[in-house]
Amino acid sequence: MKRIILGAVLAIAALAAQAKDMTELRFGVDPTYAPFESKSPSGQLVGFEIDLGNEICRRLQVHCVWVETGFDGIIPALQGRKFDAILSAMSITPKREEQVAFSEPLFNTPSRLIAKEGSGLLPTAESLRGKAVGVAQGSTQEAYAKAYWATAGINVVSYANQEQVYPDLRSGRIDATFTDALAGINGFLKTPQGSGYGFAGQDVSDPKTLGKGAGIGFRKDDSALRQKVDQAIDSMLKDGTYKRIEQKYFDIDIHGS
């Protein structure tokens, strides 16, 4: 028993030392989801979560490293230690919580269907029967669509990322896309290619598949790092830094605090 207790104490001490001596923090990110994370024309990573991550690193006094990874494989890459945490609009769902430990929620935004204006489509199986709906691979919207629409015979088409959905929507290969509302606004509806398209129906919510907000994902054994990041987030909320970053990208409060 003493050996077991000693081993546990040493393991905790090692984690604490690792977090204390850390010189860089590597975030896994899929930069195809504006305004949360994307690339500027010059190739620079930009977006709400990029700013949040850089501020977290500043507060922890570490160098921020961004590791670009396709979202569909981002959890296996985390577990394979290709980076230290996932900061990429990852919704907190029961299924993901089986594999990943999450920070406190960073934001909570709704999911919505996008289609041609006047299409009359609604985000229901009855309305979408005979239609094709595009979703991003590995997204919570894909999980929802497969759970509730594909099982009812709707053609759910998965793409490597959300950016690849829009050309097929405009060409008519698919009839609608189901995505995060703010990502849909900034990544499509506010752009020239989004002309003639709009939201179809109301917000969709389902905690089981769509989650309860988005957070930073960590390996379950990295509790010391997760606690330090949570402390940084909490300090950003209290001193108004989160709000200042939020207001650069959004006209509404997406944290809900």
How much is the pTM?
0.80
Q: Which domains does the chain have, with CATH numbers?
A: 2-108+213-249 (3.40.190.10), 111-210 (3.40.190.10)
Q: What are phi and psi of 29, to 5 degrees?
A: -150, 140
The two structure tokens encoding residue 144: 């929802």
pLDDT in tens, 187-237: 999 999 999 999 999 999 999 999 999 999 999 999 999 999 999 999 999
In a 3-state reduction of DSSP, which class is residue 42? coil
pLDDT in tens, 93-125: 999 999 999 999 999 999 999 999 999 999 999
How far is 131 from 118, CA to CA, in rounded Å?
15
The share of the chain scoring above pLDDT 90, in percent, equals 89
| Structural contact between residues 131 and 176, judged by C-beta atoms closer than 8 angstroms | yes
pLDDT in tens, 156-168: 999 999 999 999 9
The two structure tokens encoding residue 38: 């994307």
In a 3-state reduction of DSSP, which class is residue 45? strand
In a 3-state reduction of DSSP, which class is residue 191? coil
